[in-house]
Amino acid sequence: MTRDEIRDRVLTIFAEEFEIVGPGLDDDLREAHGFDSIDAIELLREIEDMLGFELSQEQKKRAMDNIRTLNQILDYIAGLAPEPA
Amino acid sequence: MERRVVITAASAISPIGHTRDEILHSLQNGVSGVQPLRDDGLLSDHIHSQVFGTVSADIPFDFERKYRKTMGPVAFYACQVVKEVVEQAGLSPEQLGSGRLGVAFGSTHGSPTVQRGIYETFFSKSGKRFASIGAVDYLKSMVHTTAVNITKMFGITGRVISSSTACTTSSQSIGFGYEMIRYGMQDAMICGGADEYDTTTVAVFDNLLACSTAFNDTPSKTPRPFDADRDGLVVGEGAGAVLLEDYESARHRGADILGEVVGFGCNNNGGDLIFPNVDGITATLKIALADARLDPGDVDFISAHATATKMGDVIESQAIRNVFGETTPMVSGLKSYMGHTMGSCGAIETILSLYMMAEGFVAPTLNLDSIDPRCAMIRHTPGLADYPLKVVGVQNFAFGGVNTCLLIRKM
């Protein structure tokens, strides 16, 4: 998937699952949209569905610790996208 | 310190209506909320009892997603009745977040609908079964889901009590809330209970041969508390919430006072977990009267637990007779209108009693066509009648041998 395709998929998830429509790519999602840790866990599940494989606990913890914006989410997914060895 | 405790707001979602007017209309016109059991694609075909006390009101739950995301159906009911209570009372965010207002709210077992979804993942052949358990499924289904979704939605920072004692869940909520205020631990408590549409509860009682099965084609004819032809309980759904306040602060803010909680009795039979116990129930009623410092003759009306099981109604009648003697208060079994709304029944039956107290009438037990001679030693409400109610008793008994009695006085 290209970054644009991933962005479109993630924006669709945000609109349909979290009722967050058209967020800025660098918005602090918690501050600007009330996107909390429960939502982040749900998003990871959606990402697993999107990628078609299960993320490891370490991969998930890294996301929970570091990600605040949509651009960071896109970077994170891009880093996961290559098939795991 | 012993303070007086008053009820200043009330709201119910019940099988006989959602608004006060709808519920009063049903009580005054003998309207039943019992309907055919819906097909749930799982258990309904195997259950002998094909009736259910069903909420049919169209309720627009306009909660924001940040609240909805941790709510199963039971919490939607709970938060809706509490929202209405908060609006009725005009409680400010400052009062709600003062730490002096708490919540006593429960359900029979959280959200069985959400629990069913969790169990399904364990039996799924899909490889992603663990990932498919949602992050919020526990928050939606846990036993205290109603209480803490309420605290979240309304920013409540006081005490949380979440009784989960089956049929005494919400009568305990009101009783424990009353004690919190009476003894000065809190100044106000939002109290109640809720239970959602659930066929597993029907299956449990069905397996115990406790459900009504003879009126599947005529749902409104069952349950039949105290009637010779009663054949068991009808499971139902619903929610009820009341706001309890310290009398002095309620008076100070000019609140409408719907009634005063003057007594609460609660005990356990100390034995069998299923069968009601006449000694245990008799003791409960006496504890409540002593707590209220009332004589038996002061009570005008009893909302009986009266589930319409063969033995439960007889034993409750015996206990009433034991305590009140030959001239008992008028007795009605309000479940005859709605079925057994489980964790919400104590709160809903309290609210119906408050409505009747305010309007000055009593509703008779529906479907009581021929009184069982073993239940005939108490004074059954003879028919719909204007009647000034001063003191009302609300009785509830649960699996596990838990008994409660609330006494409420008109002010």
d(CA B289, CA B265): 8
Under an 8 A CB cutoff, do A38 and B65 touch?
no
Q: pLDDT tens for residues A2-54?
A: 899 999 999 999 999 999 999 999 999 999 999 999 999 999 999 998 998 88
Under an 8 A CB cutoff, do A38 and B139 touch?
yes
B135 vs B192, residue with greater confidence: B192
- Of A18, A38, A48, nearest to B135 by CB-CB distance is A38
Under an 8 A CB cutoff, do B128 and A39 touch?
no
Q: Is residue B392 within a helix (H) or strand (E), and if so which, with residue range?
A: strand B391-398
Q: Chain B closest CA to A65's CA: distance in Å?
A: 17
Whether B148 and chain A come into contact, CB under 8 Å, resolves to no
Q: pLDDT tens for residues B171-199?
A: 999 999 999 999 999 999 999 999 999 99
Residue B132 pLDDT greater than 80, yes or no: no
Residue B202 pLDDT greater than 80, yes or no: yes
pLDDT tier at B131, thresholds 50, 70, 90: low
Q: What is the mean pLDDT of residues B53-82?
A: 96
Whether A75 and chain B come into contact, CB under 8 Å, resolves to no
Q: pLDDT tens for residues B261-320?
A: 999 999 999 999 999 999 999 999 999 999 999 999 999 999 999 999 999 999 999 999
Mutate to test the interface with B, among A39, A47, A51, A53 (most CBs of B within 10 A): A39
pLDDT tier at A85, thresholds 50, 70, 90: very low
CATH 1.10.1200.10 fits A3-80, yes or no: yes
d(CA A32, CA A15): 15
Q: pLDDT tens for residues A52-76?
A: 888 999 999 999 998 999 999 999 9
Query: Cβ contacts (< 8 Å) between A42 and chain B: which residues?
Result: 134-136
Structural domains of chain B, count: 1
Specify the CATH number for the domain of residue B337. Answer: 3.40.47.10
Distances from the Cα of B45 to the Cα of B49, B50, B199, B213, angstroms: 10, 9, 10, 13
Residue B109 a catalytic site member: no
Structure confidence at residue A1 (pLDDT): 83
d(CA B100, CA B188): 7
Residue B18 a catalytic site member: no
Residue B215 pLDDT greater than 60, yes or no: yes
Q: pLDDT tens for residues B345-362?
A: 999 999 999 999 999 999
Q: pLDDT tens for residues B82-107?
A: 999 999 999 999 999 999 999 999 99
d(CA B313, CA B276): 9
Structure confidence at residue A83 (pLDDT): 46
* Structural domain range at position B105: 5-409
Under an 8 A CB cutoff, do A45 and B69 touch?
no
